[in-house]
Structure 1
Amino acid sequence: MEHTFYLSTKDHSEMIDVTSILENWIAEQQIIDGIIIITSLHTTAGITINENADPDVKTDFLRRLEEVFPWKHQKDLHMEGNTAAHLKTSTVGHAQTLVISNSKLVLGTWQGVYFCEFDGPRKRKFHAKVIRS
């Protein structure tokens, strides 16, 4: 069972909580137990799991990544000018694997699944594949 999801990002850098999108799809597909792999289909956008209770975590997360990988760097040679976005994606990662139990993602109390945009705004997609147990 697999599916490609589409979304439009609004900012240059942002973290979009996709937890409910995934859980709704899992419920619609009547998946009870298994493993789900979620992957970004872009080199300048990633997937991560992080806190979803305090919105300041997303702000701090993006700010700290920008400190390490500033958007404009005089010595970058990549002609598109988005080397920082590639580095952020490689750091965050392009995919996550989670357990599904009783039709729910197994996440900690404060955790959520995020699509991380580093070169927006753009039309984006991510893919999920479930291996049922």
Structure 2
Amino acid sequence: MLYKETLRTNKRDEMIDITTNVKSMVKKSGIKNGIVYVYCPHTTAGITINENADPDVKHDMLMRLDEVYPWEHPKYRHAEGNSASHLKTSTVGNSQVIMIDNGELVLGTWQGIYFCEFDGPRIRTYYLKVVNG
């Protein structure tokens, strides 16, 4: 089953926890054992899995990505001026694969699934593909 989800981002850089929505779509699919692909079709946004217990983790990740890929750099050549967002997306990646066991996502105790915005605010989409297996 393929689901298309839409969300609104509010900042240039932010990480939005989509774990609850992914769990809901897996439940809706009725698939008890398999995998779910979470895919972002944008070149300036991505999907990652990381800690969802302490909000400082998101802050620290975004801060460090900004340090590694500053928004402005004298050698950037991309005409749109958002080279940093493309670099961040390539670093984070645009998809994750999560196993489903007995109807539940197989995630660690502190793990959550995040939509990562690097060129917002915007209205974004991501896809979930739930596969039996």
**Same fold per superposition (TM over 0.5):** yes
Structure 2: stretches of 5+ with no match in the other structure? none
CA offset at residue 117 of structure 1? 0.2
| Alpha-carbon distance in structure 1 between the residues aligned to 2:125 and 2:55 | 23
Structure 1 position 89 matched with structure 2 position 100: no
Q: What's the counterpart of residue 101 of structure 2?
A: 101
Deviation per CA, 1:94-120, whole angstroms, max 9, x where unpaired?
011110112111000000000000000
The CA deviation string for residues 20-48 of structure 1, in whole angstroms up to 9 with x for no partner, is 00101111221211111111110000000
Distance 1:108 1:20 in 2: 14
C-alpha separation between the residues in 1 aligned to 2:104 and 2:23? Answer: 6
Q: For 2:22 and 2:7, how far apart are their aligned partners in 1?
A: 13
Q: How does 1:52-91 map to 2 (within 5 A)?
A: 52-91=52-91
- Secondary structure of 1:76's aligned partner: coil
Q: Structure 1 residue 44 and structure 2 residue 20: aligned?
A: no
- Decide whether the 8 Å contact of 2:31 with 2:131 is kept in 1: no
Aligned pair count?
A: 133
Paired-residue identity, %:
56
Unaligned runs of 5+ in 1: none
**C-alpha separation in 1, matches of 2:52 and 2:76:** 33
Identify the residue that residue 118 of structure 1 maps to in structure 2: 118
Asked if structure 1 preserves the Cα contact closer than 8 Å seen for 2:14 and 2:116, the reply is yes
Distance (Å, rounded) in 1 between the aligned partners of 2:92 and 2:58: 13
Q: TM-score, normalised by structure 2?
A: 0.98
| Structure 1 counterpart of 2:40, one-letter code | S
> Structure 1 residue runs of 4+, over 2 Å off?
none
Q: 1:87, 1:119 → 2: CA distance?
A: 11
Q: After TM superposition, give the deviation of residue 73 of structure 1 in Å.
A: 1.1
CA distance in 2, matches of 1:114, 1:95: 10
Aligned counterparts of 2:11 and 2:17: Cα–Cα separation in 1: 14
Look up the SS of the partner of 1:128 in the other structure. strand
Give the aligned CA root-mean-square deviation in angstroms: 0.7
1:128 corresponds to 2:125:
no
Partner of 1:27: 27
